[in-house]
Homo-oligomer: A and B are copies of this chain.
Amino acid sequence: MCQHCNYPELLDVMGLDPTPNRLRVMEVVGNNTSPIGAQDIFTTLSRTAEINRVTVYRILDLLVEKGLVERLSGGGRSLVYGMAPNENHPAHPHFHCKNCGVLQCMQPVSLNVDIKDIQRSFAGEIRGVEVLVSGICRNCLRTEQDRRTKRKER
C-alpha cells in the first residue's frame, strides 16, 4: 500500500478531474506490490463497486497517456500496469519467472548512466527506459531442488 502518494493531487497536476473511478483505479495500481493486468484491475474494482470494463480500459489509457501510470510487458503475452516513476516510486526493473509466470518488482538500480550512454549514440529523444529481467524465481528454484533431492532419497 502506498502511503506516500496523493492521488487526487497527482491527477490534478495533470489536469484531470479526480473522479471516483479514476481514484479507485490509481489506488489499485498503486497499492499493488507488482504491476497488474487490466482484467485483474477490473476484477478487483468490481468487488467493491460496479464499474464497466470499458471504463477501466479508458482510464488506464488516460493515465498512461498522462504519464501517471506505466504500461509494461508482463513477460508472457500480457500487458500490466504499475505506477510510473515519480519521487515516491523510483524506476526499477521487473522480473518475470519463465517457469511460474510471476512478475515482481526488483530493487531500483542506477540506470541513469545507461540512459546517457545510449542517448549519445541515438538520434531520437529518450523519455524512458524499461528493463525486464527474466529467469527463474526463488520459489521455482527451490522446488526444482526439492525434486532433485527427493529423487536421490529413493
Q: A-side interface residues toward B, CB under 8 Å? A: 71-73, 77, 79, 93, 95, 97-98, 106-107, 109, 111, 114, 117-118, 121-138, 140-141
Q: Is the CB of B129 within 8 A of A136?
A: no
Q: How long is the Cα–Cα vector from A98 to B71 in the complex, in angstroms?
A: 12
Q: Is the CB of A135 within 8 A of B128?
A: yes
B residues within 8 A CB of A124? 95, 97, 135-138, 140-141
Complex A-B: 5 CB contacts under 8 Å: A95-B124, A106-B122, A129-B131, A129-B133, A130-B131
Q: Give A149 Cβ to nearest chain B Cβ, in Å.
A: 17
A126 and B135 contact, Cβ closer than 8 Å, known pairs A73-B73, A114-B109, A118-B93: yes
Residue of B with least CB distance to A73: B73
A133 and B118 contact, Cβ closer than 8 Å, known pairs A72-B73, A73-B73, A141-B124: yes
B residues within 8 A CB of A117? 109
